[in-house]
Amino acid sequence: MKDSTLKKLGVVHYKSGVLDEHYEVTKFALLETIKEAVPEMWSPTS
């Protein structure tokens, strides 16, 4: 079941035009948000 969910998510991203370089920007934004919103959960190795 988990496999099919991930495949569906991949298809949605592909059809939406998501490129590899988008993931790096998203990762940075997500980690910065966590760092600011809940610093006790932040770790530079995460």
Q: What is the pLDDT of residue 17?
A: 95
**Do 18 and 26 meet the contact criterion of CB atoms below 8 Å apart?**
no
Query: pTM of whole model > 0.75?
Result: no
Q: What is the pLDDT of residue 43?
A: 81
C-alpha 26/C-alpha 29 separation (Å) is: 5
> Residue 36 is which amino acid?
E
* Per-residue pLDDT tens digits of the chain, which is 46 residues long: 567 999 999 999 999 999 999 999 999 999 999 999 998 888 877 5
Domain ranges of the chain: 19-46
C-alpha 34/C-alpha 16 separation (Å) is: 26
Q: What is the pLDDT of residue 46?
A: 52
Nearest residue to 31 via CA among 20, 45, 10: 45
